[in-house]
Amino acid sequence: MPLDVGTERPPPIEAELREKIRTGRYGIAHPALLALLFRERWSEADAVASEAFEYDAVHEEKRDDTWQRWRDGLAEDAAGVWRSREAKAPDGMDTSAAAEEPGSANPLSVASWLARDLPPPDFLLGELFSTTSRVELIGPTGLGKTMFALAAAFAIALGRGFLHWRGGKPRRVLYIDGEMPSRLIKARLQDEVRRWGGVVPEPLFVLARDATEQMPPLNTLAGQDFVEQKIKQLGGVDFIVFDNMQSLLAGSMRDEEAWRATQGWVLRLTQRHIGQLWVHHTGHNEDHGYGPKMIEWSLSTTMLMGRVARPEADVAFRLEFPKARERTPDNRADFEPVVVTLAGDTWNAERGAPRRPPGRARAFTLLCDLVESGGLMNKAGKKVTTMDTWQGAWIEAERATNPDAKEESLARTFRRATKDLEGMFEQEGQLVWLIERSPDVLNEAM
């Protein structure tokens, strides 16, 4: 399919298409590819694309088919750009730059932004999920991430409320699972159908790696193209649940590259009004997601699950929102901390749950209590405690909410918490005591 863009086209057309290519699915190809495409030198472009894909065996296998689809899509994009420009400008008008009439507002000005007619968010579940939201659900292993995410997917597909979030109209949802066996997925679906009164959500679709041959990692072009083909076959979707990052992406989640290779696609899904929920694990430190902080930078909301003692419940966790870009005074209730339980086959929410202090604050509080109540003093007359006593109190307190935690793991989180408190206490051998600080510094530690 020839690309109807030649050298006679005005520069802005090339610039506009260049931006579409940069932000679209073609950006990973060799930089020389763009110049070849504009000159319709397809054989050379094919060669360049082939060289660009040599690094990945998955791309090597599907190279010809993938490149043909990309080439056709690029031609369609080019034709669309030119048609839209011709529709906007009368014959003979110079489209190389926007004509600046006297008194007209610069499109980058605040006045121009205020005058824009932008559609409101298309909410799916309360104002937590929308067709443009990018949400990360973070939680320790075994706390109920998949069960919660699947219940939310059911609610969106059925158009019903879930916990304290109100429902909307039924939407098309794709749930992508990367690690559970098919048998367990079926069992989880049966459980959730029962909890929703036996109603099967027709607009909910489940794509499981275990039941799909050769599903490439989603931080590769082949993996993203694989999902895009599924979306096309389904006739489009409004929301996707990715469960979970570790199982769906290739490489170490400790490095930025695994997510960096996915980030562009994530933003492009948002541009097409496809909301997303990315399920993610914590590490030994359960106060944040495993891996680099930059994962959260491109997301609109971060949901953090924490341990809570509810022995009568099958699932119980505290849910907090460290990042909530869409939070406003009017929807604040949708982003307040809440304790979520699944007991008696029913999901429940305990509103107004107090926020769990971070690890450094919990460690600092323990140290203050031990120093005051221990009755020990050093040679300088300072009230002290011992490092072993402090660590033992930490392990005991943490096990109150996480009884199955291993002592080695709790000791590791204790060392990390005390490292974050450097400058707040002094140590000599086993003895530990507080450094006198101003109230502002103490509040910062909390």
Residues 335 and 387 in one domain: no
Say whether both 440 and 424 belong to one domain.
yes
Same domain, 38 and 178: no
CATH of residue 255's domain is: 3.40.50.300
H-only helix segments in 89-170: 110-115, 145-158
**Residue at which a domain ends, from 306, 325, 351:** 351
Q: Are residues 298 and 208 in the same domain?
A: yes
Residue 192: inside a domain, yes or no?
Answer: yes
Predicted confidence at residue 409, as pLDDT, reads 80
Q: Do 174 and 286 fall within a single domain?
A: yes
Output the domain CATH number for residue 381. Answer: 1.10.10.10
**Does 52 share its domain with 191?**
no
Question: Positive or negative, the Cα torsion across 298, 299, 300, 305?
Answer: negative
Calculate ∠ Cα 367-392-365, nearest 5°. 20
Cα-based torsion angle of the residue sequence 387, 389, 393, 394 in order, rounded to the nearest 10 degrees: 20
Q: Are residues 310 and 363 in the same domain?
A: no
- Domain end point (choices 305, 328, 351): 351
Pick from 180, 170, 169, 326: which is nearest to 243 by CA? 180
Domain match, 130 and 205 both: yes
Could you tell me if 153 and 295 lie in one domain? yes
Q: What's the one-letter identity of residue 26?
A: Y
Residue 181, in any domain of the structure: yes
Let me know: does 255 contact 249? Beta carbons within 8 Å: no
Domain termination site, one of 325, 351, 377: 351
pLDDT at residue 355, as a whole number:
66
- List the pLDDT tens digit at each of the 446 positions of the chain: 444 444 443 344 445 555 555 555 444 443 444 444 444 444 444 444 444 444 333 433 444 455 555 555 555 555 554 455 445 444 444 444 444 444 556 888 998 989 888 889 999 999 999 999 999 999 999 999 999 999 999 999 999 999 999 999 999 999 999 999 999 999 999 999 999 999 999 999 999 999 987 899 999 999 999 999 999 999 999 999 999 899 999 988 888 888 889 999 999 999 999 999 999 999 888 888 888 888 888 899 999 999 988 889 999 999 999 999 999 999 999 999 999 999 999 999 998 766 667 788 888 888 888 888 876 777 677 888 888 989 888 888 887 777 777 888 888 888 888 888 887 888 888 888 888 754 554 455 55
| Sequence-ordered alpha helix ranges (H) in 138-196 | 145-158, 182-195
Could you give the CA distance from residue 272 to residue 131 in angstroms, rounded to a whole number?
A: 9
Same-domain pairing of 17 and 138: no
Residue 439 lies in a domain: yes
The count of structural domains within the chain is 3
106 in a structural domain? no
Report the candidate in 29, 20, 140 with the shortest Cα–Cα distance to residue 75: 20
CA 265 – CA 23 distance, rounded (Å): 9
The values of phi and psi at residue 126, to 5°, are: 55, -145
Judge if 79 and 221 occupy the same domain: no
Residue 204 and residue 277 in one domain = yes
Structural tokens at position 64: 């010809």
In a domain, 329, yes or no: yes
Cβ neighbours around 343 below 10 Å, total? 13
- Pick the closest to residue 241 from 332, 146, 382, 336 (CA basis): 146
pLDDT of residue 64: 47
Evaluate whether residue 307 is within a structural domain: yes
User: How many Cβ atoms sit within 10 Å of the Cβ of residue 111?
Assistant: 8
> Which two three-digit tokens encode residue 117?
């007619």
| 3-class secondary-structure state, position 366 | helix
Domain coverage including residue 66: 11-93
What do you get for the CA distance between the two ends of the chain, in Å?
63
- The answer as to whether 110 is a domain residue is no
**Do the domain assignments include residue 321?**
yes
Residue-wise DSSP of 17-46: HHHHHHHTTTTTS-THHHHHHHTT-HHHHH
Nearest to 160 by CA among 171, 147, 173: 171
Q: Two tokens at 373? A: 């109540």
- CA 329 to chain CA centroid, Å, is 24
